[in-house]
Structure 1
Amino acid sequence: MTNDRDALDRRSFLRSASGTATLLATVAATTPVFVSEAEAYDPGQDETKSKYQPEAPDVQAFYRTNGYETLKK
């Protein structure tokens, strides 16, 4: 049988341990460890050019197959 003093000590230990863990997790989440300057990404010429080409054969086939009247001249 356990006495009340042992049970109280165990509870107080667990409370302090959980409080310490919560405090450490909060500090770790709010404080950045490695702060570095952001670098911009340069996409280059190939990624910034337009990709839609209305005269391409696959685009022509799509509109012809789906019955769109926009490409009829």
Structure 2
Amino acid sequence: MSDKKKPEGLDRRGFLRAMGAGAAVTAAVPLTATEAQAMKPPGDEGKARYRESEHVKTFYKVNRY
């Protein structure tokens, strides 16, 4: 047997084992999440902002829409 001391911390196999365990935990998180709910915008944010004004009509006419 050799007289070399093992380095402190993770070796390559331990590192890969820890990465695999971390990936498994990360993959399991979305499965346990609850369903997202839509936010209702306050005030006038939900209203349409588009208005067909004269310059918009001119643009349509020039570009043959």
TM-score tier after normalising by the smaller chain length? 0.3 to 0.5
Which has the higher Rg, Structure 1 or Structure 2? 1
Higher relative contact order (CA 8 A, sep 6+): 1
Q: What TM-score comes out, normalization by structure 1 length? A: 0.42
Q: What TM-score comes out, normalization by structure 2 length? A: 0.45
